[in-house]
Amino acid sequence: MAVYLQVRQGEAAGNALAALVEQLERDQPKAWREDLAGLLVAASYAGLQQTAAAAPLARRHRELANETPKPWSRLSAEERDVLYQRWAYGDFYDPFGAQAWRLYLIGKHFPEQRRLLTAEATARLLAAVNEQGLNSLNSALAVLALDAVGGEASAPVRFEQAWRGGTSAFGEQKDGVLAGPFRADATRLMVMPDAGKTVWVARTEAGFDRAPPQAVQDRGLEVRRDFLDESGKPTTTVEQGRALTVRLRVRGSGWDNVALLDLLPGGFEAVLTPPSAAEGGDATEGERVGGSRDGDGDGYDDDTGEAIEDAEAGGAAEPLAPVLALPESTFMPVHEEIREDRIVLYGSVSGEMREYRYRIRATATGTFQVPPVFAEHLYRPHVIARGAAAGTIVVTEPKP
């Protein structure tokens, strides 16, 4: 990819490309031509006007893009092993990402091969988009790919919406793109390009579910939450001004890059714990929850890159900041976000159930809905867990 980017930027990369091909032939003689590396090499050849060298590589990747993959259930053990090795990068390079790269590079650099792409090649990518099976990286690649293989932003197109009682057009044209909001009560959206024109459409919805979604605990992750009173027992009531302990429990099949999202009930706020109350406020606890500027332990400030003086060598020790996690916590996030209405934790999960405990304080009286807790792998959208909605929590007036 680095060599390809050099070529795209007009740099002299001929020697680097020749050295790369020599290394690939030496180290991966059977695999590199059908790997994405082969297509990046072909695109680099095309940028350097070496069409004879680029043509066979581009042709083979067009054939791979047009293939209909065999269902996993029909693969032999040997075929599954090959696929596992091919997609060993998992989080950043998977079949959908590879297909997006193929369509993008073929569409961008090889017009004669682009014309031979079948509807199946695009359908494989669209299936992942429609099933919300893409992560943020692959989503960006999909946009580039669809644009490269035939999207016509300037093609005349009209949007219409239908709802109970009428229909109307919507959207405004700007910079060759038609875009605009549709009614919340719309029951049907219609996209009408001119005959023979290809356009790509994206629909975005924002907000919260009107009805809580069903609990999911069997898709690679499991997450649970309850509220504990001062005696450590689960409860659904609390006096205004008092605090509850939130106990989050999570486990999974050995995943890194997991986000754990806990929406707070209305009328509550997160409570930070002073360092002196968190296992004596020692440096280990402060570093574990982000109290230290040296989060990775390399002796340098993570923000400025400057060396942090050792307290024993005469440097003044930085006071530890208040923390969110209570000492009983066994889930160690690599990053925490304390927002106005939610807590977001990022970290790794294993097959052992881990707990994360923190406190929330009731700031208003009333009966409040409790949103479900949610966990998701950042790069594998099908690895999720969703806790059941816990009903309501009641905040009563403080006793005299």
| Mean model confidence pLDDT for the chain | 84
Q: At what angle do helices 119-130 and 136-149 cross, to 10 degrees?
A: 150
d(CA 11, CA 8): 8
Note the pLDDT of residue 280: 46
358's CB contacts (< 8 A; 6+ apart) are 245, 246, 270, 271, 273, 324, 325, 326, 329, 343
Nearest CA to 356 out of 284, 282, 249, 235 is that of 249
pLDDT at 285 over 50: no
Residue type, 62: R
pTM greater than the 0.75 cutoff: no
d(CA 70, CA 87): 16
Query: Which percentage of the chain shows pLDDT scores above 70?
Result: 82
Q: Find how far residue 294's CA is from the centre of its chain.
A: 26
pLDDT (average), residues 345-363: 94
Helix ranges (DSSP H) in the chain? 2-8, 14-27, 36-47, 51-66, 77-86, 95-109, 111-114, 119-130, 136-149, 283-288
Q: Domain 216-272+324-396: which topology?
A: Immunoglobulin-like (2.60.40)
Q: Where are the domains of the chain?
A: 2-149, 152-206, 216-272+324-396, 281-319
d(CA 91, CA 397): 49
C-alpha dist (Å) from residue 115 to 53, 149, 299: 20, 9, 56
10's CB contacts (< 8 A; 6+ apart) are none
DSSP of 319-382: PPPPBSS-TT-----SEEEE-SSEEEEEEEE-SS-EEEEEEEEE-S-EEEE-PPPEEEESS-TT
Could you read off the pLDDT of 210-243 as tens digits, one per residue? 777 788 888 889 999 999 999 999 999 999 999 9
pLDDT at 247 over 90: yes
Structure tokens, 284 = 């280990």
Could you read off the pLDDT of 310-340 as tens digits, one per residue? 544 445 556 677 889 999 999 999 999 999 8
Structure tokens, 31 = 């695999």
d(CA 325, CA 358): 5
Binned at pLDDT 50, 70 and 90, residue 85 comes out as: low
Note the pLDDT of residue 203: 85
Note the pLDDT of residue 292: 44
* Cα Rg, the chain, nearest whole Å: 27
289's CB contacts (< 8 A; 6+ apart) are 278, 323, 324, 325, 336
pLDDT (average), residues 288-298: 46
